[in-house]
Amino acid sequence: MDYGKLAKEILELVGGKGNVKSVVHCITRLRFKLKDESKANTEALNNLDGVVTVRQSGGQYQVVIGNHVPDVYKAVVSEGGFDSASPVDEDEEKGSIFNRFIDMIAGIFTPILGVLAASGMIKGFNALFVELGWMDNTGGTYQILNATGDALFYFLPILLGYTAMKKFGGTPFLGIVIAMALVYPALVAVPAAGEPLYMLFAGTMFESPVYIEFLGIPVILMTYSMSVIPIIIAAIFAAKVEKFLAKVTPAMVKMFVVPMFTLIVIVPLTFIVIGPIATWASQLLGQGTVLIYDLSPVIAGAIVGGFWLVFVMFGLHWGLVPIGMNNLATIGNMPILSMMFAHSFALAAAILAVFIRTKNQKTKSLSMPAFISALFGVTEPALYGIALPLKKPFIFTIISSAIGGGILGYFGTTAWILGGMGIFQFPSFIHPEEGLNTAFTGSIVAVVVSSILAFVLTYFFGGFGKEQTEETPNNKVIKSEEIVSPIKGHIISLSEVSDQVFASESVGKGIAILPTEGKVFAPVNGVVTTLFKTKHAIGITSENGGEILIHVGFDTVQLDGEHFTSHIKQGDVIKVGDLLLDFDIEMIKEAGYEVITPIIITNYGNYTNLVTTTAKDVNVKENLVTLLGESVSDVIPVDQ
Question: Is there a contact between 81 and 46 (Cβ–Cβ < 8 Å)?
Answer: no
Indicate if the pLDDT at residue 286 is higher than 70: no
> What pLDDT, on a 0 to 100 scale, did the predictor assign at position 90?
41
Q: Which of 128-142, 261-275, 368-382, 524-538 has the highest mean pLDDT?
A: 261-275
> What pLDDT, on a 0 to 100 scale, did the predictor assign at position 127?
75
Question: Is there a contact between 9 and 506 (Cβ–Cβ < 8 Å)?
Answer: yes
Report the C-alpha gap between 244 and 484 in whole angstroms: 62
pLDDT band at 471; cut points 50, 70, 90: very low
User: Mapping DSSP to helix (H, G, I), strand (E, B) and coil, where does residue 493 land?
Assistant: coil
Higher per-residue confidence, 486 vs 291:
486
Quick check: is 343 catalytic? no
Catalytic entry in 26, 317, 343, 563:
26
The pLDDT tens digits of the residues spanning 570-603 come to 888 999 999 999 999 999 998 888 999 999 998 8
The CATH-assigned architecture of domain 3-95 is: 2-Layer Sandwich (3.30)
Report the C-alpha gap between 321 and 425 in whole angstroms: 16
Question: Is there a contact between 546 and 481 (Cβ–Cβ < 8 Å)?
Answer: yes
Task: Using CA atoms of 483, 487, 492, 493 in order, give the dihedral in degrees to the nearest 10.
Answer: -20
CATH of domain 481-634: 2.70.70.10
Distances (CA, A) of 527 to 230, 456, 543, 546, 605: 53, 35, 7, 11, 20
Quick check: is 26 catalytic? yes
Catalytic entry in 343, 536, 551, 563:
551
For the chain, domain boundaries: 3-95, 155-293, 296-468, 481-634
For the ranges 106-120, 286-300, 452-466, 497-511, the lowest mean pLDDT is seen at: 106-120
Q: Which phi and psi (to 5°) does residue 192 adopt?
A: -85, -10
pLDDT band at 411; cut points 50, 70, 90: very high
Question: Is there a contact between 502 and 529 (Cβ–Cβ < 8 Å)?
Answer: no
Indicate if the pLDDT at residue 484 is higher than 90: yes
Output 163-166 pairs: Cβ under 8 A, ≥24 positions apart: 163/85, 163/107, 163/108, 163/109, 163/111, 163/112, 164/108, 164/231, 164/232, 164/235, 164/236, 165/235, 165/238, 165/239, 166/85, 166/87, 166/111
Helices (H), 314-435: 321-330, 335-338, 343-357, 361-375, 380-382, 388-390, 392-411
Total Cβ atoms within 10 A of residue 496: 9
pTM to 2 decimal places: 0.51
Indicate if the pLDDT at residue 474 is higher than 50: no
Indicate if the pLDDT at residue 152 is higher than 80: yes
